[in-house]
Amino acid sequence: MRSGNLIPWLGLLGLLAILVLILIYILKPKYEEKKVSSTFIWKLSLKYGRKKVPFDWLQNSLLIALQIIIITIIALLMAQPLFVQGGAYEGETIVILDTSVSMRAEKDGISRFDRAKKEIEDLADETLKRGNRFSLFVALPDGETAPASSVRNAIRSDDEALIRQNIHEARPSFGEANLEAALEPVINTMRSNPDATVYIFTDRNRAGSEGVRIVNVAEDEFNAAILSFTTKRDGYHTFEAEIGSYGRAVATFDIIFQLRNVRFADAQGVTQPQEEEFQIQKTVAAIPDGGTQTVRFNMTTDNIRVVSYESAYLKLNVDDGYSFDNEMYIFGGRTENVKVQLVYPAATENAAENILLTARFNALSNADVTPVPIVADRPNQYSSSGFDVYVFYRTLPELIEDLPSDGSIILIGIQRLPPSWGSNPFGVDFNGLSPLLTWENADSVHLTGSQWPVYDTVLGDLQHVYYDSLFQLRATRHAVLDVRNLHYRTLMEIRNSPTSAVPVLIVGDNANNSRLKTIILGLDIEFSNLGTVFSTTWMLGNILSYCIPPIISEHLVTVGDTVMLAGRPSTDIVQLLFDNADGHRESREFQTSPEFGLMVAEFKSIVPGRYWIQQQVRGDDGTLGVQQTDNFFVRIAERQSNFAQDLPPIILRMERDNLDIDASIPPNLLDIYVWVALALVALFIIEWWVQYREQF
């Protein structure tokens, strides 16, 4: 029975027969006895030594050599080895082309990438002339596909036209090519041809193992780069940038710093009127090659501080061959405006609690509050659309259909739901019960010892706030809310004992209208100290943030990062504008999500530059109007600007000893058993002939 493990041992056993054969030749030399008249001359001839006769050694050893070859071939056939076909795979050249954005750096009008393509073309010509196969692997950033449709990430061919086309159409990216990922298919290729030579065309010096040659196509290109541009907010904004210079002994150049729609505060903290543009131009000190310099941007005088801004822009006024890191934006210096409609009974317009509530909303810098007092004969005079947040204080429309159709509804101080709403308001099944059950008195219940998410996030440095340490929220009367339905989540509770907790702030989605979110505050200004504690503003601001999620996840991302785009509940379309790789303005539109507050798109940025987001509302005539805009900036990776940065070796996994050669790859195997067998027969014939010749 054949065994895969046994077969090579059989071959080894067969080779032992060669030793046996040699022993036989040594131990049993066959001498033919011959009577001669005299051995006198023969003995004399021995003194002459063995005369040099061409191939005499071969003739003397021909028989045993033949027998050894025969036994070797038989052993070979017994071992049944795999014969790898030579030819095109021998001396194969494998090229990995780095498409990182740093390959776009130019010197004398020629980029590193073009230089690499020229060298690869020469290498391909040389390889194909030798009759070998050429493989090209284009190392792309993670998640990117080849820039041109006809270019494949990997080709392995001996077709010169195909190779030339792929080299010609290869384009550099704006990201960081993942060379390690490109090595995976290379290793797969080398499983069928471990002797291939691997070239990596890149622009950094990196270590390579045996058989892997790093070709550095960089030629000391000059690059002045903004490595980082950040803002710090400590009540006011301060700006700082780190500038680097590479490829020039000493570099000096101007930088321009601009703020758009900026508001300053004077020394007394009084906010000044908004300025459309504020600019600083300064010259950086000489930066040595590979050095960096930190630049801080102080305003004209120290007494002026930045309160808010629409955008901060930094530009290096320098002519280098690598412009992708010469400018950078910072957005998000201004809080989004939230349109709030505050609906309350006209009778309470001048009540203290109503004034306090209005003041608290007005204290929010980003809230654009529209008060709507409701009189009895005109109960529905408020707007049911066009606002982000609708606050109903102590009043509700009699018909649930008169509620706004989008946005968030905040109910405050509602002591009962209108009977016509039924037991299932907002489309939420409460097992026949309303979430707002009853309104009951309490003896100075207060919030103690708990931490609630609604008190997070407004001030970043004060994320964990405890009521007992910061303020005492007290109430003498509160609503009894039912949150047994999973559609509601408790954001805040009050306690009057360690074991009993009563929810006073809940939030729920509307099953009938997914673009509507309902928030119920079970406290009343009149029966609590909500209107007097300053943190009420804080709480309301967080509630608004909760109701109106940011329309963008980040304002500064790196090429290849994903940006989350969100839509306002009242928005119909989210439009994204940016300049594409070819420099043309490109627009993409995303339909807002049917569900409240969820993102509408994940956008993976592959081109650096400024991006505009417009939240658009479709009017009654079908035209789109811009409701909200925002920006984000996509920068190239800092590592791609730092030409002097040493990158770690990437070739460790290419150690050939570690290659798991896949012997089961069938295409390159050559079945030469028949030819070996024929050679064996021929050798037998020669052996017989030589034997015959020696004996007769």
Partner 1 sequence: MRFNIINDEFINRLETLSLNMPNPMQGYFGGVHRTRTYGNTVEFADFRDYNLGDDIRRIDWNLYSRFEKHFIRLYVDERQMHIQIFVDCSASMYKGNKDKALYALRIMAALGYLSVQNMDKLTMRLMKGDFAEDPCGIIVGKNSFFRGIGQIDEAAVFDGDCNLESAIVNCENLGSNDGLTVIISDFLTDSNWKRAVDYLVFKKRQVLVVQVLSPEEIDPRYKGRVQMMDSESGDVMDPKNMKLKITKAHFKAYREALEDYIRDIKDFCTSRGALFISGSTATPIEKFIFQKLFEIGTIK
Strand partners, 343: 372, 392
51 binds partner 1 (CB under 8 A): yes
Stretch near partner 1 under the rule CB under 8 A, chosen from 32-40, 171-179, 302-310, 616-624: 32-40
Residues 70-129 that bind partner 1 (CB under 8 A): none
**Closer of 32 and 461 to partner 1 (Cβ):** 32
Identify residue 567 by its one-letter amino acid code: G
Candidates 2, 4, 27, 34; binder of partner 1 (CB under 8 A) is 34
Query: Smallest gap, in angstroms, from Cβ of residue 695 to partner 1?
Result: 8
Measuring CA to CA, which residue among 190, 184, 192, 198 is closest to residue 94? 198
Q: How far apart are CA 529 and CA 245, in angstroms?
A: 59
294 binds partner 1 (CB under 8 A): no
**# chain residues binding partner 1, by CB under 8 A:** 29
Q: Which residue has the tokens 């019960």?
A: 433
Residues 665-694 that bind partner 1 (CB under 8 A): 694
Measuring CA to CA, which residue among 571, 553, 566 is closest to residue 634? 553
Candidates 9, 22, 59, 145; binder of partner 1 (CB under 8 A) is 59
The token pair at 585 is: 């303005």
Stretch near partner 1 under the rule CB under 8 A, chosen from 8-16, 28-36, 149-157, 668-676: 28-36
Stretch near partner 1 under the rule CB under 8 A, chosen from 52-60, 117-125, 328-336, 464-472: 52-60
696 binds partner 1 (CB under 8 A): no
Query: Smallest gap, in angstroms, from Cβ of residue 196 to partner 1?
Result: 48
Alpha-carbon Rg for the chain, nearest whole angstrom, is: 41
28 binds partner 1 (CB under 8 A): no
**Closer of 38 and 469 to partner 1 (Cβ):** 38
- Could you tell me the end-to-end alpha-carbon distance of the chain, in angstroms, rounded to an integer? 44
Stretch near partner 1 under the rule CB under 8 A, chosen from 53-61, 398-406, 582-590, 596-604: 53-61
Candidates 2, 35, 232, 296; binder of partner 1 (CB under 8 A) is 35
Asked if 224 and 326 touch (Cβ cutoff 8 Å), the reply is yes
**Closer of 33 and 108 to partner 1 (Cβ):** 33
Q: How far apart are CA 360 and CA 365, in angstroms?
A: 10
The token pair at 296 is: 């801080």
Candidates 3, 4, 26, 32; binder of partner 1 (CB under 8 A) is 32
Query: Smallest gap, in angstroms, from Cβ of residue 27 to partner 1?
Result: 14
Q: Which residue has the tokens 């690499």?
A: 116
Identify residue 589 by its one-letter amino acid code: E
Residues 128-147 that bind partner 1 (CB under 8 A): none
β-strands 624-635, 556-558: how paired?
parallel
The token pair at 406 is: 């989008």
**Closer of 34 and 296 to partner 1 (Cβ):** 34
Candidates 1, 5, 26, 29; binder of partner 1 (CB under 8 A) is 29
> What does the chain come to in residues?
696
**Closer of 57 and 534 to partner 1 (Cβ):** 57
* Residue 177 per-residue DSSP state: B
Query: Smallest gap, in angstroms, from Cβ of residue 29 to partner 1?
Result: 6
Main-chain phi, psi angles of 189, to 5 degrees: -65, -40
**Closer of 1 and 44 to partner 1 (Cβ):** 44
Measuring CA to CA, which residue among 412, 519, 525 is closest to residue 474? 525
Candidates 27, 36, 376, 674; binder of partner 1 (CB under 8 A) is 36
Candidates 2, 52, 464, 585; binder of partner 1 (CB under 8 A) is 52
48 binds partner 1 (CB under 8 A): yes
Stretch near partner 1 under the rule CB under 8 A, chosen from 23-31, 158-166, 255-263, 348-356: 23-31
Q: How far apart are CA 166 and CA 269, in angstroms?
A: 62
How far, in Å, are 195, 256, 386 from residue 90 at the CA level? 7, 57, 72
β-strands 516-521, 573-579: how paired?
unpaired
Candidates 7, 9, 20, 50; binder of partner 1 (CB under 8 A) is 50
**Closer of 4 and 29 to partner 1 (Cβ):** 29
* Residue 588 per-residue DSSP state: E
Candidates 60, 145, 252, 423; binder of partner 1 (CB under 8 A) is 60
Candidates 1, 27, 46, 249; binder of partner 1 (CB under 8 A) is 46
Q: Which DSSP string corresponds to 483-551?
A: --STTEEEEEEEESSSS-EEEEEEEEE-SS-TTEEEEEE-B-STTBSTTTSTHHHHHHHHHHHHHS--S
Site of interaction with partner 1 (CB under 8 A): 29-53, 56, 59-60, 694
